[in-house]
Amino acid sequence: MRRVTRSRMALMLMAPMLVAPMVMMLPAGARGAPPTSWAKAGVSLADYAGDAGACAEATRDRAVTVRPETAQALDALSMVDLAMILRTYGGDSDASPLMAAANIGMHHDDANVARRTANFGAKYQAMTRSDVRAQLQAALDQCLVDRGYVRIMLTPEQVRGLAKLKRGTAERTAYLHAIDSDPAVIAAQRVVQE
C-alpha cells in the first residue's frame, strides 16, 4: 500500500478545487445548449447565403485574447502538473524540490518529454480554443443581429434533418434557409433574450 505524504494529500485535496471552476468557465455551448439557428423572415436564398458569408468573413481578422479566468486556470493547472511531476520524480518522501527537479532532468527521454508536453499542451489548446470560439461566435452573432436576423430554437425533427446533410453543401444551406426564412417558424421558435 502506498504511503500518503502531507504534500501528496494537499495535492489530492487541491485538485477538485481547481477543476470545478474550470468546468464553470466553459461557455454555455460547451455544456450542451439546445441547437439554434439564425432566421430572417422572407430573406432570399441568395441574401441568406451572402449574409452568412459576409459575417463569417468579418470575423477573419478579429483580434482575440485569452480571458483572464482562463489564464488563471491554466496557471493553476501548470502548477498542479508541476507538483505532480515533482512528486513523481522526487519519490514518496518529502524530498527536496531541487532533488526532484534534478531527477526530472534524468528522465529527458523522448517518451517522457512528449507525454508531459502533450498532457499540458492538450489542456492549453482545449481551454484557449473555447475562449477563441466564444469571441468569434459573439462577433458573428452580432453581425447577423445587425443584419436583422434573430435566433431560433431548432426542433428535434429539424436537427435530425440537418444531421443528414453535409456541412458546407448547397443542400444544407437550402434546408436551413427553408426553416430560417419562414415567418411562421420564426414566430413559433424565436429565442427570447433575457
**Other beta carbons within 10 Å of 51:** 19
pLDDT digits (tens, 9 = 90+) for 98-123: 666 566 555 555 665 555 566 667 77
- CA distances in angstroms from 73 to 69, 122, 129, 141, 146, listed in the order given: 6, 14, 14, 27, 34
Residue 37 forms beta bridges with which residues? Answer: 152
Q: Is the CB of residue 103 less than 8 Å from the CB of residue 89?
A: yes
Comparing C-alpha atoms, which of 139, 137, 131 is closest to residue 71?
Answer: 131
- Residue 174's identity, in one-letter code, is A
Lowest mean pLDDT of 30-34, 68-72, 172-176, name the range.
30-34
pLDDT digits (tens, 9 = 90+) for 6-40: 444 443 333 333 333 333 344 444 446 789 999 99
Global confidence as pTM: 0.61
How much of the chain exceeds pLDDT 70, in percent?
Answer: 62
Task: Give domain limits for the chain.
Answer: 6-29+36-189
In the three-class reduction of DSSP (H, G, I as helix; E, B as strand; rest coil), residue 39 is classed as strand
Residue 11 has what pLDDT? 35
Q: Is the CB of residue 77 less than 8 Å from the CB of residue 18?
A: yes
41-50 mean pLDDT: 95
